[in-house]
Amino acid sequence: MHNPFVETIDESMDSELIEKALQGSREALEKLVLRHQAWIYNIAVRMVFHAHDAEEVTQEVLVKVIMRLSTFKGESHFRTWLYRITANHVLNMKRRGGESEAQTFSSYADAINDTPDLEFPDPKSMPVDVPLLVEEARISCTTGMLLCLDRKQRLIFTLGVIFGASDAVGSEILEMSADNFRQSLSRARRDLYQFMHGQCGLVNPNNPCRCAKKTRGFIEVGHVDPNRLQFAPSHLRRITEMAAGVTRTIEKTLDEHYAGVFREQPFLQPRDQVGWLKQLLDDGGFRKSLHLN
């Protein structure tokens, strides 16, 4: 899969698909959407946390992209045009999912600390292996931390640290100066790092919090559902693999391991990448409005 956030990007495939889609090719439009759908979904997950909400957000973005495709004139990178639509949508959309209740680092720490340290759940009573449940708890907890950042910080952190986009790419997408992007990213990194250094055993081994000890508690309060894992089983590759080729390097002023906690998260796939799109394009009125074959 291509990486849309590299500094120097080859958009020949996108350009060819756009041209064919605007000529009425449904197949080209499907391929164009599927090239970017998972990237948009991975942004959405970090904005709203819950998979079904992230899928809804992704669909909302893609409908906008499809409906506006004829307005793309090639005056900027398609990457810039597409992810500006994505950024504007996630920054201005209605609150939902994990955003439904305002979260602060203080309240998040209280929630973690109030979850008791317990022994592993009985493996015989679980539908999946216990190590998979621990991974689910770890990724769920670290992803939830992002909700303590405000929306813009969260998006900038996702682009700049998790996906490794450069200042030039990130600022272009968010329509801000490279200096402002760097400053906003620095604040988000600082706030998240300070929280994790004071709370999380993954970053600071002196902290008592351990994912394995919290897993059973997370299950009992409903943060982890053994019958419907959101993070652990649903990935093909790690973000470090998918975001290969980016130019950003981790600043030496912060612990490199802290950023790695997020970069090693799974690159998630929507549960039904193709079905929703085919259903949408099968709608006669929608297809007619796009002049699709």
Exposed (0-12), middle (13-18) or buried (19+): which is 45, by Cβ within 10 Å?
buried
Average pLDDT over residues 113-129: 93
Residue 135: the pLDDT is 94
Q: What percent of the chain has pLDDT over 90?
A: 75
Does 260 have pLDDT greater than 90? no
Between 253 and 198, the higher pLDDT residue? 198
Average pLDDT over residues 278-282: 82
Q: Which of 156, 142, 167 is nearest to 246 (CA)?
A: 167
Residue 231 falls in which region: left (phi positive, over 0), alpha (psi -120 to 50) or beta: alpha
pLDDT digit string (tens) for 38-75? 999 999 999 999 999 999 999 999 999 999 999 998 88
Distance CA 249, CA 254 (A): 12
pLDDT digit string (tens) for 211-247? 999 999 999 999 999 999 999 875 556 777 777 655 4
Does 138 have pLDDT greater than 80? yes
Write out the H or E segment, with its range, that includes residue 197.
helix 178-199
Distance CA 229, CA 37 (A): 21
Domains of the chain are 12-289 (1.20.140.160)
